[in-house]
Amino acid sequence: LAKTTQPISMDSYEGQEVNITCSHNNIATNDYITWYQQFPSQGPRFIIQGYKTKVTNEVASLFIPADRKSSTLSLPRVSLSDTAVYYCLVGPLDTGRRALTFGSGTRLQVQP
C-alpha cells in the first residue's frame, strides 16, 4: 500500500478553514484516498473518500490534483470539537480483504 506523509501537528483557531495536505507519491492506479478522524479513546471515524479532482460532503472537502500524488483535506470553519488526529490513507477500494495501514496522522489543535 502507498506510504503517506502528513504534517505531525497543526494549530488553528475557531472559525478558520484548515487544510491538511497528505503526500502519497507512489499511489497506484486503483488506489483511493480516504481520510479518518480520531478523538482520544475512540476508534477512527470516516470523514471523506475520493479518487480524483474534488469531493465534498457535509463535513469536509477533499482536493486531489491530476497527478494524485497528494491530497488536501479541507475543514471549513473549524470549531473546538474538531480537535483530533486526522489520518490520510491510500489503498484500493476492494472487497475489504486488506487492512488499512495507518501513518502517524496529523494532530489538529483548535484554539478558541
Partner 1 sequence: GAVVSQHPSRVICKSGTSVKIECRSLDFQATTMFWYRQFPKKSLMLMATSNEGSKATYEQGVEKDKFLINHASLTLSTLTVTSAHPEDSSFYICSARDDRGGQPQHFGDGTRLSIL
Among 24, 27, 31, 34, binds partner 1 (CB under 8 A): 34
Calculate Rg over the CA atoms of the chain. 13
Q: In the complex, what is the shortest distance from the CB of residue 106 to partner 1, in angstroms, rounded to a whole number?
A: 11
The residue among 66 and 99 lying less far from partner 1, judged by its C-beta, is 99
Q: In the complex, what is the shortest distance from the CB of residue 37 to partner 1, in angstroms, rounded to a whole number?
A: 11
Residue 58 falls in which region: left (phi positive, over 0), alpha (psi -120 to 50) or beta:
alpha
Q: Any idea which residue has 505531525 for its cell? A: 8
CA neighbor of 21 nearest in space, from 8, 32, 37: 8
Does 58 participate in binding partner 1 (rule CB under 8 A)?
no
Task: Give the max Cα distance, the chain.
Answer: 42
Among 44, 60, 82, 110, binds partner 1 (CB under 8 A): 44
Stretch that binds partner 1, among 15-23, 40-48, 55-63, 70-78 (CB under 8 A): 40-48
Rounded to an integer, what distance in angstroms lies between the CA atom of residue 33 and that of residue 50? 5
* Interface with partner 1 (CB under 8 A): 34, 36, 41-46, 49, 87, 93-97, 99-105
